[in-house]
Amino acid sequence: MIPAGIAVANDVKAAYDWVAHRYPTCPHFVTGSAMSILTKEIIGRGSLFGRFDGHTIEPMSGYWGKELALNAARYHRAEIPELMAPAIAERCGGNPFYINAVVRQSAKSGTPVSDEKALNKILAVDITSGFIWGELNDQVTRWIERINDHKITKWILYLSALEENEEKDKKNRLNLERIQREIRKREGTDVPLETVRDVLIKLSRGDLLEYLEMGNWFRRVKDPILLEFLRIWGRIEVEGHAQSRVQEELVIEYRKSGRRINEYKGYLAEVHMSQALLNAQTMTLEGKFFNSDEDVSIPSRFIYVRHRVRPASGKGQEIDVLGSAGDEQWVCQSKWV
């Protein structure tokens, strides 16, 4: 903990240095939403270097995201059937704040999350004007205020969220030249590439995008809700569209990607299957669970367990659950009977 007088100091690094020297044997726990600047520029340099062990908090698995949605629904008295809980967790990217925000919005509006149409409506409201909008808008606004040229910074952040690199092998990379051209087209301003790069680096310190320093390139964050928010925020705050209009268009856009009820059932089964694999790591299970006469040994560690993997395009080219343990690939198919 940092004393109140130090916690509000303008020079955050000086504050941490002071604590480190004043209490050399005291354990410190540091957490936050913008960890890049903390780890790379504050506690990863100088007298603080080597004193902290980092641990990245990963998204919740589909199973535990589902459990959180159901528990939050009971707490907030929202009506969420079990079939829809995994869909909420998936749409929220496994982020507990977003999951809880969706449940709270459901309870506040009295709207049961009975199907994806209802979920889409709740998400559209929350991202454009609800709990998610309030929290993320505050974070983005405060970070932009740290950078001098607010107008150009807003445009660069907005365009980075829209950017889709057309080069096959560089799909996730931001194309700085295209961002530069879009600013010229929309604002009539010529912004040097070095300025674009400098602003992107500063935005990456707030975890609003990723900067791969070794390769000297940028990519969008993997947070689906933050990306959606930045697109919506840009339309409202940068382009000046009415909030109600953007919300209406978002509902219409979401409506086009609805699922059938059987798909929810299948996805619920997949969520349980993937969690069973994760929970059983290093264990040997009875063969009857795998329709086998022999017991089955589960790998000691899965590098990843993913849902709905498409190794190739075309009909029937989707794996329900794919787990990789390096030299072993686990392929699971979900059938609802």
The secondary structure of 183-216 as a DSSP string is HHHHH-----HHHHHHHHHHHHHTTSSEEETTTT
Asked if residue 308 is part of any domain, the answer here is yes
Give 210's strand partners: 219
pLDDT digits (tens, 9 = 90+) for 104-162: 999 999 999 998 889 988 999 999 988 999 999 998 988 888 886 668 899 999 999 98
Structure tokens at 305: 């367990």
CA distances from 28 to 2, 16, 18, 166, 228 (A): 9, 10, 13, 45, 34
178 and 250 co-located in one domain: yes
Inform me whether the pLDDT recorded for 22 exceeds 60: yes
Asked if residue 106 is part of any domain, the answer here is no
231 and 191 co-located in one domain: yes
Asked if residue 62 is part of any domain, the answer here is no
The strands making up 319-324's β-sheet, listed across from edge to edge, are 304-309, 319-324, 329-332
Domain span at residue 286 reads 282-332
183 and 145 co-located in one domain: yes
Among candidate residues 255, 272, 298, the one where a domain is terminated: 255
Q: Which CATH number belongs to the domain containing residue 238 in this structure?
A: 1.10.10
pLDDT digits (tens, 9 = 90+) for 264-320: 778 888 888 899 899 999 999 998 888 889 999 999 999 999 888 887 666 667 888
Asked if residue 75 is part of any domain, the answer here is no
What whole-number distance in Å separates Cα of residue 291 and Cα of residue 8? 61
What whole-number distance in Å separates Cα of residue 90 and Cα of residue 63? 10
147 and 234 co-located in one domain: yes
Asked if residue 80 is part of any domain, the answer here is no
Percentage of residues in the chain having pLDDT higher than 70? 78
Q: Give the pLDDT of residue 289.
A: 83
Q: State the alpha helices, DSSP H only, in 211-303.
A: 224-233, 243-255, 261-279
153 and 241 co-located in one domain: yes
180 and 250 co-located in one domain: yes
Asked if residue 165 is part of any domain, the answer here is yes
Comparing 32 with 29, the larger pLDDT belongs to: 29
Q: In sequence order, which residues have a C-beta less than 8 Å from that of residue 53 and are 6 or more positions away?
A: none
220 and 290 co-located in one domain: no
Asked if residue 57 is part of any domain, the answer here is no
154 and 221 co-located in one domain: yes
pLDDT digits (tens, 9 = 90+) for 62-113: 999 999 999 999 999 999 999 999 999 999 999 999 999 999 999 999 999 9
Q: Give the pLDDT of residue 215.
A: 82
249 and 301 co-located in one domain: no
- Nearest-5° Cα angle at 282, 279 to 284: 90
Comparing 47 with 57, the larger pLDDT belongs to: 57
Look up residue 173 and give its DSSP letter. Answer: B
Q: Give the pLDDT of residue 9.
A: 41
218 and 290 co-located in one domain: no
Asked if residue 174 is part of any domain, the answer here is yes
What whole-number distance in Å separates Cα of residue 4 and Cα of residue 50? 25
Q: Give the pLDDT of residue 176.
A: 92
Question: What confidence category does residue 206 fall into, taking pLDDT thresholds of 50, 70 and 90?
Answer: confident
139 and 249 co-located in one domain: yes
247 and 149 co-located in one domain: yes
Q: Give the pLDDT of residue 2.
A: 46
- Per the structure, how many domains does the chain have? 3
Q: In sequence order, which residues have a C-beta less than 8 Å from that of residue 45 and are 6 or more positions away?
A: 13
What whole-number distance in Å separates Cα of residue 129 and Cα of residue 244? 9
Q: Is the full-model pTM beyond 0.85?
A: no
